[in-house]
Structure 1
């Protein structure tokens, strides 16, 4: 004990000779140096504990790493500043920094809690299910509302942080209340962003589009891959990505093939000769559809939809469970019907007719009469 007391007295005497700012910096830095590895060890231990758990628990632990570290640093710096020999001016500045850090921590925790609640809620729905209409509805609503809520939390966090500073407190109030000249200028500058945010909330409520909806937009066919707070990403059939603002789907028309359900009716058109055996083709279409696993067993029909001078227009209808299967089924039906017509009824294929006349022209006939005379 005597050695420990001697070391303590020596350390106190050594610190007494140091300037106040060096002693304060050592205390604050020492606390941070202790807290940082302690947090790292605790986080790695917790990460190993959930390594065998589901993806949800692993992502949950990963999401809490940043907020928990910031919380421990705030506590450590607060404890160190309480015992450090700081001047009044430095203590006010440090307390202001800690207050802003605490406001940031609260906003960060709120955003993390929103994300965790969203993940927990969406775990009940599966987008890869065959009938995923309900899942797409909830995914679209929750994702858009989550982004809108995170944007609101960020706006409130920045407003409250500005209100902690006396010289710029009015800007925080203006930003929070959306009033004053600064609020008007900010509103005008952020008009496209704000209009997209409002459009996102409207899309979440009315749902003209959902995640994984099959749509035709800008003469392109694809699926809704992602709906953010300001834009929509459409995955086209050839793997390109079409990015459109949210206001596009509120202001302009587009086709949604999976609005109320994923099932679709595909149409196949053939242009054939007038001698085509329509009744036999109708029977053959039923056979082709029954042999196709893509057909859902609901709709199969064949009709002559138009007749022109040289050909007739034959329309075949078949139904499938979703848009990709409907496209593949249409192609399969078209190929099978054309192959059957080529093999069994080649006279049904379209052709051009011309009449050949062997009559002798009048001038040649007169020339023949002169030669005979």
Structure 2
């Protein structure tokens, strides 16, 4: 029993020495972590896997040396050493994964998402989260592969399997083509910048925020706290709206079907007073236009801007509520109605006949269009929007020049 007891004692001593060494290194790294973010992340994420990996490795070395010096049964020695080798491989994979996660968290800590302009931070967070899942999967697969290759029988089987790897790969690709399509779609989303975490999107007629983005599915947090789960391939094969791809500030509309007697300019001024009196408006766009006039109704559209999608939703609801009350209480003549008129145009009621205006006065009113009646022009933001939507000038044919 003396060789076995000596080997057990050597293993316990090696484990104690490894734990003591790891604890000293941990304290040094934690002290350095007060000044370096990477060291702080290593102290938090890599302490436990480093402790386990170092202990298992020290025990494995002690057992190998101890059993080699004494005449201990060969089968028992090989079984114990093989088991320890498997533990070393597993704990090493755990440690490598923890080190990579610490490096990823350090990179993410430099980009804050709790600021107004967080597009770059959300893009990086999306890419890192997807790469983190892919990294963990690769490490697990490699660790399992190395552990299996330590068995002689598996190595012998592996030699023959490699000869038919092409056929097996083709069959696996056919069987898992939908899964692989989602995986490649997830990678495409991560690096194409089409959609990111916390982006506000409209999919399947639902408005929400991208809450989770993985290699296989995307979770959209809908505004009423429901969750819409979609495969990642959906965002590469079907159209969707991304309200915050370039910036968080967005435009929204509120439309009204009113009577032809609506005082458009007074309604426009009322919209301006409402926008200037609320903190939901970001001061960029406040426009009211008549967008349609068919079917016996006039369609008036209020276009308003806000700093983000949440404020825009509240602002649109506020605009509808306020202008509906304003029309009802102040301008009831503009309420939508269906007319049935008897008689001819010779009546004297104001809605039966309109007085003709002088052409000069009509032209003067057309030239003095207020700024808040234009979406493309009339202000700096409107001019910039107009320049964006103007196409290239067509080249002039040399034969048609004067």
Q: Which residue of 63, 67, 78 maps to 2:50? A: 67
Q: Which consecutive residues of structure 2, in runs of 5 or more, have no partner in the other structure?
A: 344-402
Distance in 2 (alpha carbons) for counterparts of 1:254 and 1:290: 32
Distance in 1 (alpha carbons) for counterparts of 2:272 and 2:161: 66
Which residues in structure 2 correspond to 1:71-110 (within 5 Å)? Answer: 71-84=54-67, 85=70, 86-110=72-96
Displacement of 1:214: 0.5
Rg comparison, structure with higher value: 1
- Cross-structure match for 2:347: none
Q: 1:212 to 1:321 in 2, by over 3 A?
A: same
Q: Which residue of 327, 335, 341 maps to 2:327? A: 341
Q: 1:351 to 1:170 in 2, by over 3 A?
A: farther
- Cross-structure match for 2:248: 262
Q: Which residue of 242, 267, 273 maps to 1:287? A: 273
- Cross-structure match for 1:369: none
Displacement of 1:184: 4.7
- Cross-structure match for 1:137: 123
Contact 1:294 1:325 in 2 (8 A): yes
Give the TM-score of the pair, scaled to structure 2: 0.73
Displacement of 1:237: 0.7
CA distances 1:53-73 after superposition (whole Å, capped 9, x unpaired): 999876643422133223212
Q: Which residue of 149, 153, 159 maps to 2:135? A: 149
Distance in 2 (alpha carbons) for counterparts of 1:193 and 1:75: 41
1:161 aligns with 2:143: no
CA distances 1:147-181 after superposition (whole Å, capped 9, x unpaired): 22332222222222222222112666799999355
Distance in 1 (alpha carbons) for counterparts of 2:245 and 2:161: 39
Distance in 2 (alpha carbons) for counterparts of 1:174 and 1:47: 47
Q: Larger deviation: 341-350 or 263-272? A: 341-350
Contact 1:50 1:58 in 2 (8 A): yes
Displacement of 1:37: 7.7
Displacement of 1:234: 1.3
Contact 1:27 1:80 in 2 (8 A): no
What is the alpha-carbon root mean square deviation over aligned residues? 3.4
Contact 1:161 1:172 in 2 (8 A): no
Task: Give the secondary structure class of the aligned counterpart of 2:224.
Answer: coil
- Cross-structure match for 1:297: 283
- Cross-structure match for 2:216: 230
Displacement of 1:115: 0.9
Task: Give the secondary structure class of the aligned counterpart of 2:285.
Answer: strand
- Cross-structure match for 2:300: 314
- Cross-structure match for 1:125: 111
How many pairs does the alignment contain? 339
Distance in 2 (alpha carbons) for counterparts of 1:175 and 1:107: 25
Q: 1:67 to 1:246 in 2, by over 3 A?
A: farther
- Cross-structure match for 1:218: 204
Q: 1:257 to 1:228 in 2, by over 3 A?
A: same
Contact 1:305 1:314 in 2 (8 A): yes
Contact 1:118 1:142 in 2 (8 A): yes
Contact 2:212 2:219 in 1 (8 A): yes
Q: Which consecutive residues of structure 1, in runs of 5 or more, have no partner in the other structure?
A: 1-14, 358-373
Distance in 1 (alpha carbons) for counterparts of 2:336 and 2:172: 66
Distance in 1 (alpha carbons) for counterparts of 2:164 and 2:50: 29
Distance in 1 (alpha carbons) for counterparts of 2:215 and 2:49: 24
Distance in 2 (alpha carbons) for counterparts of 1:247 and 1:173: 36
Q: 1:23 to 1:173 in 2, by over 3 A?
A: same
Task: Give the secondary structure class of the aligned counterpart of 1:69.
Answer: helix
Task: Give the secondary structure class of the aligned counterpart of 1:292.
Answer: coil
- Cross-structure match for 2:358: none
